A and B are shown apart, each in its own frame.
Chain A
């Protein structure tokens, strides 16, 4: 982590780099409702930062605070070192792409994209050149004379993107950029967005409720709930090391068990759970008192399924009966009943092609579950 090359991709770990966007104690109240609750945030230049959360978590309000459509009730917003808290949207070096795209219905594609440049009083030929470049980038050159209502959803999305990028903003804010697209178009556009972001080096702040989208796109994700950040980290950090049950559950799925810390060594801890009755051996230290109530979480794909008992020790394994199987082609999900009424979800890749069409495991099969000591996450929140 200490070498510079590594830090170039992770500016948030480099103490020498100044954040590009800085929020200090920002709150936004709508009457009695608190949309954003006293948050601090740093976003660095060139990041593709995602604000992730369910509806009403405050992510869109936070984005609108950055764009300048809302002024914070308290706190300060710095963009590129300048206090932007009370600067109106038309004087901010940021542009936003709206969820509804909000294309001007009375203007052609070309004029929609040119709108921002015209406001800056840029010379006509220069506008024409830049609009042409932008439309070429989003592959809409032949549609330049069309009106928005003559475009498909994907084309509208690209016009909106071109319009918000043509002014070369320092920060591009995207509100559910792919929300209105169908699945296939979405996946393609995701990678297009990432390419454009890399190509232009613009800082992207993306609001989304789609965890997969956030995982694919982002350098870092801020998971929001009730106007606050639950956790901020890289997709890997958020997925592999969630620090609360809420995050573990929102990003992917997780099997979670309540238990008590029974042993706390320097290089391991042991959590004993009642339901199902199981001992979790975790192979890293954790600053926690013995006897504390915690939750353990294991991702469905990190549990191994076998028909015979794994040799090793008595910890990190369970016996169960397959309750349900979901065959998804590349992988299968199993719902395994352990004990009386605990259901554990497991996903397992279908590595070999079954000769007679039968699956590796069948309903009501008695099976053993096991996992690595490193796979268990301890959640205190």
Chain B
């Protein structure tokens, strides 16, 4: 720092450039801590702080006020702070079957969707990796292309396709395969379609990244040592793509569990998922503490696979 001052021109007209130099100097010497601090600060501000706010609300008592809950800290006469923590909200979630069933249903739906995504995505990723360079880029582009239109718009498009008077039913009736429209929209089936469709790229991309790194000569070695293509897949390719499978599955499973838009628009009232429940508690019931408790539990349900993910990532770095 002192160096920069000494080097900096004493002429006052150059004050700006001297400041610039000092800043540059500081950057050059502290860039490591700056680089680490930025994401750290970001997480602190936008993840940890909101989390504690939600946690605080989850332990408050509802009230007809704005915001609609009682404060946690209260000033009692002699400058004593009274802290009130209510765990009744969590107990309530446990007592009412609705919440438990919704959690189970959410995990079930996103779990099954994850498996379907994996079954569709794995061969697709594999095919893209094996394609020639020209096709590879086009195919990858096609995977990413849907992101260029609004997610909401694409879900609405599915409503148009699946509705009783929608494209699919009209086509089937026109072809004479069915007489009356099949109920597609507002069924679990529609929700599965929506989730699988939306989250498939999140499965394919990490799998692709994983497979792309695989040394092609490993497959050749296996063949050379007498393994048929199917055996090579089971003994070499599959075990070596497990990190990609885990990464892709978590990227699908975690957001799908808390998904709101898809079950709301495609499932209607028939498919209860935690995102919708959360929304209802916040808006219709105006019960912020219960809603917050629902969110906290959801977080805990999802932190588990997250930790699993972190561990495999760590292992991957090791090897």
- Contacts from A to B (Cβ < 8 Å): 67-69, 88-91, 94-96, 98, 100, 102, 104-106, 115-116, 119-120, 147, 149, 163-164, 167
A120 — which chain B residues lie within 8 A by C-beta?
226
Complex Cα–Cα for A339 and B137 (A) = 61
Partner among A89, A147, A149 whose Cβ is within 8 Å of the Cβ of B223: A89
* Distance (whole angstroms) from the CB of A206 to the closest CB of chain B: 16
B217 — which chain A residues lie within 8 A by C-beta?
98, 100, 102
A-B contact count (CB 8 A): 61
Residue-wise interface mask of B (51-94) relative to A, using a CB-CB cutoff of 8 A (1 in contact, 0 not)? 00000000000000000000000000000000000000000000
> Is the pair A106, B240 in contact by a Cβ cutoff of 8 Å?
yes
Complex Cα–Cα for A105 and B235 (A) = 12
For chain B, residues 175 to 231, give those with C-beta under 8 angstroms from any C-beta of chain A.
215, 217-218, 220-228, 231
B215 — which chain A residues lie within 8 A by C-beta?
100, 102
B228 — which chain A residues lie within 8 A by C-beta?
90
For chain B, residues 216 to 274, give those with C-beta under 8 angstroms from any C-beta of chain A.
217-218, 220-228, 231, 235-236, 239-240
Complex Cα–Cα for A105 and B213 (A) = 12
For the side of the interface on B, what is the size category?
Answer: 10 to 19
> Is the pair A167, B221 in contact by a Cβ cutoff of 8 Å?
no
B319 CB-CB contact with A under 8 Å: yes
A-B contact pairs, 10 of them (CB 8 A): A68-B224, A69-B223, A88-B223, A90-B225, A96-B220, A102-B215, A102-B218, A104-B236, A106-B240, A167-B225
The 5 residue pairs across chains A and B that have the minimum distance between CB atoms: A116-B225, A119-B226, A102-B217, A89-B223, A102-B221
Complex Cα–Cα for A236 and B215 (A) = 39
> Is the pair A115, B224 in contact by a Cβ cutoff of 8 Å?
no
> Is the pair A119, B231 in contact by a Cβ cutoff of 8 Å?
yes
> Is the pair B220, A119 in contact by a Cβ cutoff of 8 Å?
no
* Distance (whole angstroms) from the CB of B228 to the closest CB of chain A: 6
- Contacts from B to A (Cβ < 8 Å): 215, 217-218, 220-228, 231, 235-236, 239-240, 319
> Is the pair A115, B225 in contact by a Cβ cutoff of 8 Å?
yes
Complex Cα–Cα for A116 and B218 (A) = 13
Complex Cα–Cα for A116 and B222 (A) = 8
A163 — which chain B residues lie within 8 A by C-beta?
221, 225
Given contacts A96-B221, A102-B220, A104-B222, 17 further A-B contacts (CB under 8 A): A89-B224, A90-B223, A95-B225, A96-B224, A98-B220, A102-B215, A105-B319, A106-B240, A115-B225, A115-B227, A115-B235, A116-B225, A116-B226, A119-B231, A147-B319, A164-B225, A167-B226
> Is the pair B224, A119 in contact by a Cβ cutoff of 8 Å?
no
> Is the pair B221, A90 in contact by a Cβ cutoff of 8 Å?
no
Complex Cα–Cα for A96 and B235 (A) = 19
| Given A90-B227, A119-B231, also A98-B240 (CB < 8 A) | no
From A95, which residue of chain B is reached at the shortest CB distance? B224
* Distance (whole angstroms) from the CB of B232 to the closest CB of chain A: 8
A119 — which chain B residues lie within 8 A by C-beta?
225-227, 231
A96 — which chain B residues lie within 8 A by C-beta?
220-221, 224
From A116, which residue of chain B is reached at the shortest CB distance? B225
> Is the pair A89, B240 in contact by a Cβ cutoff of 8 Å?
no
| Given A102-B221, A104-B221, A105-B319, also A90-B226 (CB < 8 A) | yes
* Distance (whole angstroms) from the CB of A60 to the closest CB of chain B: 12
From B240, which residue of chain A is reached at the shortest CB distance? A106
B319 — which chain A residues lie within 8 A by C-beta?
105, 147, 149
A105 — which chain B residues lie within 8 A by C-beta?
240, 319
Complex Cα–Cα for A91 and B319 (A) = 32
A147 — which chain B residues lie within 8 A by C-beta?
319
* Distance (whole angstroms) from the CB of B6 to the closest CB of chain A: 49
Complex Cα–Cα for A104 and B225 (A) = 12
